[in-house]
Amino acid sequence: MNERTQGVPGADRRSFLKTATVAVGSAIAATPATGRASLGANDRIRVGLLGLGGRMRSHVAALTELAPQNVEIVAICDCDQGKLDSAAQRYPELAGKKLATYTDMRKMLDDRSIDAISNGLGDRWHALSTIWACQAGKHVYVEKPATHNLFEGRQMVAAARKYACMVQHGTQNRSSPNIREGIQKLREGVIGDVYMARGLDYKLVGNLGRVNPAAVPAGLDWDRWLGPKPMRDYSQFWHHRWYWILELCSGGFANQAVHEIDILRWGLGLDQHPTEVAAVGGRFVHDDDRTSPTDFVATFRFGGSKPLVTYEHRCWYTNSEAGFRDQYPFVQPNFPVGTIFFGSEGYLIIPDYSSYRTFLGPKGEPGPSRVAEVQTMEDTPHFANWIDAIRAGDAKRLRADIEEGHKSMVPCLLARTAYELGRPLKFDPATETVLGDAEANALLNDPAYRSPYVVPKDV
């Protein structure tokens, strides 16, 4: 996250969905097709690191904390030789380790001594790399946002089930003890009947600059870096600002949003996709070459009597909201992010990754709360939960199984699509299609991949 916030068709589709649903519902603790043996409580779990970017700092720290539980980092992989050469300086916990190094992930995945992959690649690579890892019999911790299109989410779930791999999505709030308590209080009725819920992220993101073609830096394999996306000339903007380019990711529609939408789904018990989505916004602040909007508002209806859900993203100076930032600062300064649940008896806020607060009655009197003494991203307990599921061979133990990741990504992807098309969408959760809108379905599924980096239809 730190690195990402710098810069101050019809029958065939139904047939496919039916097949995918069977795969999702299959036995999740079966022996994997690769013949990989189950891991016992005392067996060493050997982990390979994939993608040595900013979020990998947290992966390395968490996995190092779990070393006493027989968890060992044994390999690193990146398509940038410079990142491989400087790994021990960038992640001091790796200093002195004898690590196998790879520039091609497929070679690391071929190593049968590696049990699991900690995946910190960019959004464009999450689906294919995770599917390849599952096919190789590796368990996967995959960073958020899990997918860049709807099709990829179904394929990741199908691969996890087919090969009995534990695939944990990096929405680590689900492993925060305090947030888990807050969600339980919410479900017990601490604020009465919830009628609306809201997510927000107001981040100071400055002008990101322009796309200026340049020579590919020495040691960087630009072809592998782009992966499934079309080949284009190298530019520093694409290399370092990709998280605001909708061709490579979902920008503000998913970067922070998937965390907050995941909490909203979790708290409201929303197991089905939304039925109506609208998103309005634009690039209002900075004159640069990002394609993700600087500001947008999205609304979601989940059918029946489910509460209204909204999400808002801003990237420049703003007021606080519900005390976020000013009274209850986030782990990163000047970045109000979080969720608000509105009920008949009061409201509940989750203003960071490790706290919740309630305010009751017409005067907003403080109610039950749990606030961490020191804010934390809760990466270590989320990785610990992944390791526990690997040892048990039971995906039901995962707090953020990839199917939950897919369900939390669908609202993000629908909002992005509604914004790009400039119109609201009506969505059929059963078939995962936009009703009466072929253009939206094509954009939502984005099937164009560049060979050989193709997400397979049959995993």
Q: What is the CA radius of gyration of the chain?
A: 21
Instruction: Return all residues near 359 (Cβ < 8 A) that are at least 6 apart.
Output: 346, 347, 348, 349, 365, 366, 367
Q: Which fold has domain 3-173+379-401?
A: Rossmann fold (3.40.50)
As beta bridge partners, residue 46 has 72
Secondary structure (DSSP) of 327-346: TB--SSTT--EEEEEEESSE
Instruction: From first to last of the 459 residues of the chain, give the pLDDT tens digit.
Output: 333 333 333 333 333 333 333 333 333 333 344 445 456 666 999 999 999 999 999 999 999 999 999 999 999 999 999 999 999 999 999 999 999 999 999 999 999 999 999 999 999 999 999 999 999 999 999 999 999 999 999 999 999 999 999 999 999 999 999 999 999 999 999 999 999 999 999 989 999 999 999 999 999 999 999 999 999 999 999 999 999 999 999 999 999 999 999 999 999 999 999 999 999 999 999 999 999 999 999 999 998 899 999 999 999 999 889 999 889 888 777 788 999 999 999 999 999 889 999 999 999 999 999 998 877 788 999 999 999 999 999 999 999 999 999 999 999 999 999 999 999 999 999 999 999 999 999 999 977 899 999 999 999
Looking at the chain, the domain(s) classified CATH 3.40.50.720 span 3-173+379-401
Cis, bond preceding 145 (omega within 30 deg of 0): yes
> Rounded CA gap, 345 and 193, in Å?
7
262 vs 197, 216, 269, 366, 370, CA distance in Å? 12, 37, 10, 25, 20
Q: Which CATH superfamily is domain 177-211+222-371 in?
A: Dihydrodipicolinate Reductase; domain 2 (3.30.360.10)
Count of Cβ atoms closer than 10 Å to residue 258 Cβ: 25
- What are 55's two structure tokens? 């979020």
Q: Which of 319, 316, 323 is nearest to 338 (CA)?
A: 323
CB 287 within 8 A of CB 207: yes
Looking at the chain, the domain(s) classified CATH 3.30.360.10 span 177-211+222-371
Can you give the three-state secondary structure of 223-255, one letter per residue? HHHHCCCCCCCCEHHHHHCHHHCCCCCCHHHCC
> Rounded CA gap, 368 and 172, in Å?
23
As beta bridge partners, residue 350 has 339
Q: What is the DSSP letter of 215?
A: P
> Rounded CA gap, 282 and 34, in Å?
47
> Rounded CA gap, 417 and 430, in Å?
19
Please give the span between the terminal C-alpha atoms of the chain, in angstroms, as a whole number.
30
Q: Mapping DSSP to helix (H, G, I), strand (E, B) and coil, where does residue 124 land? A: helix
CB 364 within 8 A of CB 380: no
Task: Compute the 3-state secondary structure of the chain and give helix, strand, coil in percent, each to the nearest 5.
Answer: 35, 20, 45
